[in-house]
Each structure stands twice: as structure tokens, then as C-alpha cells.
Amino acid sequence: MRRLEFVERPHLRPRRLRRTAALRRLVAETRLSTADLIAPLFVAEGVSAPAPISSLPGQYQHSVDSLLAEVTRLVDLGVSAVTLFGVPQVKDARGSGASDAEGIMQVALRRLVAELGDAVVLIPDLCLDEYTDHGHCGVVDEQGSVDNDKTVERYQEIAIAQARAGADLVAPSGMMDGQVGAIRHALDGEGFFDVGILAYAAKYASAFYGPFREAVDVEIVGGGDRRTYQQDPANRRESLREVLLDVEQGADIVMVKPAMTNLDVIADVASAVDVPVAAYHVSGEYSMIKAAAERGWIDGPAAALEQLTSIKRAGADMILTYFAGELAEVLDA
């Protein structure tokens, strides 16, 4: 019997490079390391000890003291960047706490800078939804709609407050038109030329944000949504337009959110811009893995590694993920 053609042609046997773990590691096209990871963390007023977040197993609303301990642990593991979300005790219509020098975010930033210095990159979220009593990401007008320009003015005030407290990068996440240019102008006007902007440039109105909303105690009054300012998940070309506008306005890093449902967008952005690209592996993506793993349906850590590797393979230079601390224990530095 004639042998199969592919056996007669030994150069057509790619499996030979998969034979051992060492060989697979040698030829891996994509490498994920702790240097690629940014850990999202929550810091809350009125909390004296870490408070578990039920829909985000393993994640907590931290006190300033426990936040410092967690960031120190992450730095020791090789994770060199964190993004912070503040949870105030008091909220109002304009989100005053977001720019208050004594607000929870600014207090936490000053403490981290004092204790850790340049050992960690501090990236506070720059938005209003955590701080407003109506739950929107901006200032709401008399008709109940988010006023783009008044919101951008508030973002300028928040950026300056965060820069004064020690932020390395500010991360505007509200998807307001012109937000990046306005924030860059405000920072430069106050002499904060070295404070960068990580822009949520392609942020979709996603169903995967639910656990995050619990983590920051946010609910839109009246049952509204953010579809007038966040992107429609049906649109792909629009995302590139948003990203290019942010780069033109001075974004130092651009981000796609969520990550797993937008691998095509990550690839588009990575091939179109010459600034670093971030992707946010969001709360719902994390919690689904945790829930399935708890039921014994999947290998949780293996699934997390596979998803994050695919995000990097798509073109992301850095990944915001709630798995950062967990995976840092098994990844190379």
C-alpha cells in the first residue's frame, strides 16, 4: 500500500515542534508575562477591612490600608501597574467627590505614592459614574441626558486633582466627545506635562459589566443605560474612528473594552496606531470563568491563561484583568 503523501514529505510535519513542553515554549509566537498585566482594584470610603464583592470572587472593596497591602503584594509578584476605582460614601449630581482633594481616590493615590514611589504605575479611573447619585458617567441636564461639554469640564477638574495626588496616567472612561484633548489641555495648563493619558478609546455598551457595577455601587436611576455615549457592540469601523480621534488629541495609550468580544477590534487598532494598545478583560468575563470553574465545568486558571493569551495575540500590549494577582504567581516576570 502506498504511504500517505504527507508522510513522504517530512517537511510537512508541524507536530514535531509540539512534541514536548520545552519545544512548545521555544516556538511560542505569543508570550504572556506579568509585565503585560494591569490589576484593577477598588478602594472605598468607610471600609476598615477588605469587603468581598460577591459577583467578583476573590476581589474586594479595599480600605486605603488594605489597598496598600494588596498593591505591595502585586508589585512583589511582578505586576507593575494598577488601575484604581474609588467608591465614595456620599454621591451627588455632579460627582463632587471625584475631584475633591480629600476624596477617596486622591487620598489613596497620595498614600501609594508615599509608600511605593515609582515601583508601581498608578492609573486612576477618570469618570463620574462612581460618584454621581444618578449613576451616569457625566453631568445630566434637565432632560435627563448627559451633557457632553459640561461633563468634559468636570473631567478636566478630575484630571488635575488626580495628577496633583500622584497619578502616572489618567484613564478617562466616559466616552465623551473631545475628552482626551480637553484633559491634555488641562494637564498641560497646570504643568503636568509628564502625566499621561490612557484613553478608553473603544468602549462598548456591554452586557459584561454587571459585576463591576456591584463593585462600585453604581445603578442608573430610572433604569437607564449608557448607549448614547458608549459604542454599539454591532459596530466595528466606528471603533477605529474613535481610537484615531483620541490619538490625534494626545492619548498616550488607547484601550479596547471589553476584550474577548472585541478581538477583531483589538487587531484593527493594533495595526492602525503607533501608540501602545490596552485591552480590558472585564468583570463579566472574569466572573464567568470563576463561576464555571466553581462548578467543575472548566479548569479556571487554564481558561484564564488561554483568554489572556488570545487577547495579547490579537495585538494588545497590556491587559487590565482581575486575574492579574492570581496569574502573576504562575507567569514569568
Query: Is 91 an active-site residue?
Result: no
Contact by Cβ (8 Å): 182, 174: no
Identity of residue 292:
A
Active-site choice (91, 150, 257, 290)? 257
Query: Is 203 an active-site residue?
Result: yes
Give the span between the Cα atoms of 139 and 142, in whole angstroms: 10
- Residues with Cβ within 8 Å of 23's Cβ and at least 6 positions away in sequence, in order, are 17
Give the span between the Cα atoms of 258 and 99, in whole angstroms: 26
* Letter string b/e over residues 299-329, b meaning 16 or more CB atoms within 10 A of that residue's CB: ebeebbbebbbbbbebbbebbbbbbbbbbbe
SS3 of the chain: helix, strand, coil, percent, to 5: 45, 15, 35
- The 3-state DSSP class for residue 210 equals helix
| Cell (9 digits) for 256 | 479596547
The total of other beta-carbon atoms located within 10 Å of residue 60's CB is: 20
| Cell (9 digits) for 73 | 503584594
Active-site choice (91, 150, 203, 312)? 203
Contact by Cβ (8 Å): 24, 69: no
Long-range contacts of 137-144 (CB under 8 A, 24+ apart): 137/173, 137/174, 137/175, 137/176, 137/226, 137/229, 138/174, 138/176, 138/229, 139/93, 139/94, 139/95, 140/93, 144/222, 144/224
| Cell (9 digits) for 323 | 486575574
Contact by Cβ (8 Å): 109, 84: yes
Q: Which residues are catalytic?
A: 203, 257
